[in-house]
Amino acid sequence: MLAAALLLPTLLTGGAAPPPNAVTLSEPRVEYRPNEASATTSPWIDANGWRILRDAGAKFLYTVKGAGAALATAEAFTYDANAFISTDTPGAAAFQGMAEFLKTIPAVALSPVADFGVIDDRSQATGELLNLLTRMNLLYRVGIKPDASMALNVRLGTKEYPAQEASNPGLLAHKIRSQLGDDHRSLRIYGSEVVVGRLTQGPRQMRVSLLNYAALNDSARPVLGLRVRVRGSFSKGELRASGQADPQLADWTQDGTATEFTIPELRVCAVVDLFRN
C-alpha cells in the first residue's frame, strides 16, 4: 500500500546538481511519424512510466525546457517517482504552476492496479515490450518471477512468448491484449492515441490518472470528449483537471460490471476519483 502523501518532484534551482545515481529519463512528448500504410501520421509517445515502474525505488532526472516541465512534473507525480527536474526559467514557472495544481489532489493511500504480470529479465526486448504495453494502456506488474495472483504472466523466451516474437514488440503487445481480453481490462481509454492512464485503488475508491502527451506540442490542442471505462461499479466520480477551475464528468453510465464517463476536455493531466457505495 502506498503512503498517503503527495510525492512531488524536486525542482533543481541555483545550479543544484541531481543525485549522482539518478536515472536519466526522456523528455515526455509525442512525435508524429509518417504512417507507411496511409497518408496520415501516427503518434509516437515518449513516455517514462514503464521505466519508473521497472526501476521502482530509484531516483530519476528529467532535463526539460519551458512548458515541457509541466508534463514532466505531472508524469513523475502520476507514477509516484522520486524525481528531480532540471529546467530553464520558463520551465521553473511551468513546474510551479503544475505543482500548485497537483497539491489540490487529495492524498490517500492507494495501490497500483495490474491485470497481468511481466517477468523482467532486464533485457532491451523486455524494456521495449513494457514501453508499448504502457502506451497501449495495458496495466501490468513487473516482477522477477511469475505472480501467482495473476491469471496471465508474460516471460520472453518461453514457449508461450518465444524470443523471435520479441523482435516485433508491437505484435507481441497486441497478442497479450488479445489473451487478456478487452472485457477483462481494468482501464480502457477511447478517443485518443496520445493519452496514457494509470489506475490505483483503495478499499472504497479508485483513482484514474491521465496524461496527455501531445499537450505541449507546437500545434497541440486539448483532447476533447475523452471516454474512459473502468471495471467495477462506482456511485460517483470527482474530476480534477489541470488548467480548469471547475471541470465536471459527463455521460456517466454503468452496467453492473463497468463504469464509463467522459472527460469533456483534457489539457496536460487529470485525476478522477471514483467512489463505491
What is the C-alpha separation between 253 and 17, in angstroms, rounded?
49
Segment 130-158, tens digit of pLDDT: 999 999 999 999 999 999 999 999 999 99
Query: Which of 188, 210, 201, 197 has the alpha carbon at shortest distance from 274?
Result: 201
- 59 grid coordinates: 531516483
Segment 173-182, tens digit of pLDDT: 999 999 999 9
Q: Tell whether the model's pLDDT for residue 185 goes beyond 50.
A: yes
More confident residue, 239 or 34: 239
pTM: 0.94
Helix axes 68-78, 89-102, angle to 10 degrees: 40
Segment 232-246, tens digit of pLDDT: 999 999 999 999 999
Q: Tell whether the model's pLDDT for residue 257 goes beyond 50.
A: yes
